[in-house]
Structure 1
Amino acid sequence: MIEAGTSQFWRATMALCIGSFMVFANLYITHPLLPMLAEEFEISPLLASWSLTVTTLTLGLSLLVFGPLSDALGRTRLMLMTMCGAVLCSFVLSQISDFRWLLFWRALQGICLAGLPAIAIAYMGDEFTKKGLIAAVGLYISGNTLGGIGGRLIGGFAGELFGWQEAFALMTFISFFCLCLFVWLLPPSENFSARKVVPTQMMTDAYHHLSNPLLLLAYIVGGLNFFIFINQYSYATFLLADEPYYLSAGVLGLLFLTYLSGTVGAAFSGRIAKNIPQPLVMAMGIIILMAGTLLTLQGSLWAIILGFLVSAFGFFLAHSCASSWVSHTALHARATASSIYLLFYYLGASSGGFYLDPFWHSWGWDGVVFGSLVVLLITLLSSLMLYYKTSVKLERCAAGG
């Protein structure tokens, strides 16, 4: 098993972080381009957002396939194959000019992008010690945030300077470079034990995970937090592209630098969780996310930026803890357990826009904030319930022991 701090730990963690950067850069490249796409194709904000939504939707659904499939075929092979597919999709997207075809290839790309996130944490669960797993997950999710930032900056600036097709061309080159580094750095899997792909067993594993309240509550926390967080950014791009801000696509891309605070939150989540139970760290992150959401009501550009900085720190603090919680709480079929978490996570991202859209059209940004706080209250209560159930279980184990 790979111990934290060893050379193998850093090679494996760096490879997964680079792969994560590539995946999430490709996923979020259209985020700052939403106002540009709406104007160029003469479509509504909600329809323009489908250039992101359709990718997160197919990514989320594909996680149910790649996780269990990796239990049979191996982790590294599937991660490599799907990453190659994602690079190819980026190239094709740089060559098309019809919105319907853009949606088709973004949907296909979402399937390919699902490979690494469906498998990476299961790979860590196989190869790392528990202490190494907690540290590596925090760093890996930091790679997620850097990928999200990088993709949005590339999309914003390349889109503004050259056009959205050229943004995909640049992303193709960057993705291929990341793929080469991933292949070079990632150590081979040494503790993986293959299992046959049995659909009935997959359904049984999924049922057991979903009926386990210690996992289900973590799924709810991760899914509903992302349901709100990512779609706040989508509506913020339309808020800031309109009066009185009139920000361009390139400058809108800079808004996503606020994810850097999330990188810090994810990286330090493991250290914080050494002293505080993980469910309480989740609750802490949600409260910080709520505070950041409220800050954006001040209305000034700097208040909005500060609000998103605070929100990103809180969101990724909670997400990192919830993700690692699932991996070490699931006693079997870890890839399936992690895939279900990410399914909740990305289905949340795909559906949150539909929930927030009526608030946006009725009350503008104030409505988005109100709708966000309603859902975040649910996730806060879920994390506190998870802490209570964990405490009760520990007390029973102590009494029985």
Structure 2
Amino acid sequence: MIEVGSREWMRATLALSLGSFLVFLNLYQTHPLLPLLAQVFSVSSLSAGWTLAGCTAGLAASLLICARLADRFGRRRIMLWSLTGAILLSLCIPLISQFDQLVMLRILQGVLLAGLPATAIAYMGEEFSKRALLSAVGVYIAANSLGGIAGRVVGGLLAGWFGDWQHTFIGIGLISLALLPLVIWLLPAQTRFVAVVAEPGQLRRAIASHLSNPLLVGAYLIGGLNFMVFLNQYSYLTFLLAEPPFSLPTQWLGMLFLTYLTGTVASSLSGRCANRWGAQRLLLAGILLMAMGSLALLQGSITAILIGLLISSFGFFLAHACASAWVGQHVEHNRALASSLYLVGYYLGASLGGLYLHPFWERGGLGGLVLGIELVLCATAALSLWLGQLKGRSARPLSCHSSS
């Protein structure tokens, strides 16, 4: 087993974190471009949002497929081949000229990007000791947030500098292609992987097994619902800030996502905090911080919006990091599938959030947006309390530092 602080732990954690960085760099590159895309292609804000929602939907749809392929052919192979394909696709997308083509290629890119997040936690669960897993997951999820930040900031800057959306894909594709060999070189070969040969009905039974575990289902629902409102509040805020009286250009809209940096800090601290206060309390605290951050948006000034997003980001990633590690620690079989089910709910929430929040936005503007967010956070807070009750009745400790 790989232990914390060893050379293998450093290499594997760095490789997976850098790979995760590249996944989210490519996934979120259109986020600050939504007002620009709506203008260039003469589509609505909801339609423009599908350049992001379609990619997350493609990712969600292929997670289980990638997990099963990883169970059969190995985690490392699936992660590296799928990531390579997604990066090459970024360099092809600027060649298209129709909006429907852009959406379809973004869906395909999401399908390819699923390979690494579908299997990374399972790879760590097999190769790392339990203590090493918890430490690595915090770093890995911090890399998720850094990749998301970089994709949005760099995407916005490139579009602002060159005056078009195509240079965003070209620039991010070239950056990704330059870093990919480092991921391939650093990631150690698997030593504990045992291939699983699929049998008729095996996938259905495995999914049913995981979905019958309320400790897992609670984490799946909390992750998906939280992400549904957290991600999509940014989408609608870009439209708000692109219009008068703010009239921010695309490169400044990209800077809005620097507020994710508090999430990077929260992810890094999550394992230590969960060990001290317990996972259920940490989940609830993160949700309450998200609610406070969203309420701050109601003041309507740029300063209040930035402060609100900083608070909300810290709370969201605190809860997400704990829930992700929680899933990895509470499965005894089909680890890749269990992690993938969490991510299916997570990215399905991201894809549906625009549809859910759109009526609130259309009818109530910023106030309606906040109302829609708070309603969902009330539901996830209730789910967190429910998990606390399950903890008291379960023989297994409900903690990010517990074992199966």
TM-score range, shorter chain: over 0.9
1:69, 1:197 within 8 Å by CA — same for their partners in 2? Answer: no
Amino acid at match of 2:88: L
One-letter identity of the residue aligned with 2:329: H
Moved more, 212-221 or 276-285: 276-285
Alpha-carbon distance, 1:332 to partner: 0.9
CA distance in 1, matches of 2:387, 2:11: 34
Report the AA paired with residue 192 of structure 1: F
CA contact (8 A) 1:96 1:165 kept: no
Ranges in structure 1 where 5+ consecutive residues have no aligned partner: none
Moved more, 257-266 or 275-284: 275-284
Distance 1:239 1:55 in 2: 23
2:228 aligns with 227
Counterpart for residue 42 of structure 1: 42
Counterpart for residue 31 of structure 1: 31
Per-residue Cα deviation, 1:278-332 (whole angstroms, up to 9, x for no partner): 1211111111111111111111101100100000000000000000100110111
For 1:175 and 1:18, the matched residues in 2 are separated by: 10
Partner of 1:54: 54
Write out aligned runs for 1:113-132 (5 A).
113-132=113-132
What is aligned with 2:401?
Answer: none
CA distance in 2, matches of 1:284, 1:178: 36
- 1:266-285 alignment runs, 5 A limit: 266-285=267-286
Query: Separation in 1 of the partners of 2:191 and 2:296?
Result: 48
Using the alignment, how far apart are the partners of 2:284 and 2:352 within structure 1? 23
- Alignment: residue pair count: 397
- Counterpart of 2:155, as a letter, is G
Give the Cα–Cα distance (whole angstroms) in 1 for the partners of residues 125 and 204 of structure 2. 21
1:138 aligns with 2:120: no
Instruction: Summarize deviations over 1:52-77 as a string: whole Å, max 9, x none.
Output: 01000010010010112211110000
Distance in structure 1 (CA, Å) of the matches to 2:351 and 2:235: 11
Cα drift, residue 245 of structure 1? 0.8
What amino acid maps onto 2:356 in structure 1? Y
- Structure 1 segment 91-130 matched on structure 2, within 5 A: 91-130=91-130
Residue in 2 that maps onto 1:253: 254
Cα distance in 2, alignment partners of residues 62 and 12 from structure 1:
24
The residue number in structure 2 matching 1:345 is: 346
Is contact 2:293-2:312 (8 Å) kept?
Answer: yes
CA deviations over 1:164-216 (Å, ceiling 9, x no partner): 11111111111112211100111111111111123511110101111110100
Residue 391 of structure 2 contacts residue 397 of structure 2 at CA under 8 Å; is this kept in 1?
Answer: no
Residue range with higher mean Cα deviation, 179-188 or 91-100: 91-100
Residue matched to 2:152: 152
Match of 2:361 in 1: 360
Aligned residues with identical type, % of pairs: 50
Alignment of 1:2-401 (within 5 A): 2-162=2-162, 163-394=164-395
Q: Is the 8 A contact 1:29 1:152 kept in 2?
A: yes
1:6 CA displacement = 1.4
What displacement does 1:128 show?
0.7
Q: SS of 1:361's equivalent?
A: helix
Which residue type is aligned with residue 88 of structure 1?
A: L
Indicate conservation of the 8 Å contact 1:227/1:350, yes or no.
yes
What are the ranges of 5 or more consecutive residues in structure 2 without an aligned counterpart? 399-404
Deviations 1:222-269 (A, max 9, x none): 000001100001001001111211111100000000000000001110
Letter matched to residue 378 of structure 1? A
Deviation at 1:394, TM superposition (A): 3.4
Q: Does structure 1 retain, via aligned residues, the 8 Å contact 2:20–2:147?
A: yes
Give me the whole-angstrom Cα distance separating, in 2, the residues matched to 1:196 and 1:3.
29
SS at 1:97 equivalent: coil
How far 1:396 sits from its partner (Å)? 11
Deviation at 1:94, TM superposition (A): 2.1
Question: Cα offset for 1:277?
Answer: 1.4
User: Separation in 1 of the partners of 2:274 and 2:7?
Assistant: 24
- Kindly provide the CA deviation profile for residues 69-96 of structure 1, in whole angstroms up to 9, marking residues without a partner as x: 2111100000011011101110111222
Q: Distance in 2 between matches of 1:215 and 1:207?
A: 12
What is the CA–CA distance in structure 2 between the aligned matches of 1:95 and 1:303, rounded to whole Å? 40
| C-alpha distance in 1 between matches for 2:82 and 2:213 | 30
User: Which whole-Å CA distance do the structure 2 matches of 1:15 and 1:246 have between them?
Assistant: 40
The aligned amino acid for 2:350 is: A
Contact 2:266 2:317 (8 Å CA) reproduced: yes
User: Could you tell me how far apart the structure 1 residues matched to 2:182 and 2:334 are?
Assistant: 29
Separation in 2, partners of 1:329, 1:279? 14
Give deviations 1:110-168, integer Å, cap 9, x for gaps: 11000000000000001111111111111100110000000001110101111211111
Residues 145, 260 of structure 2: 8 Å contact kept: yes
TM-score by length of 2: 0.97
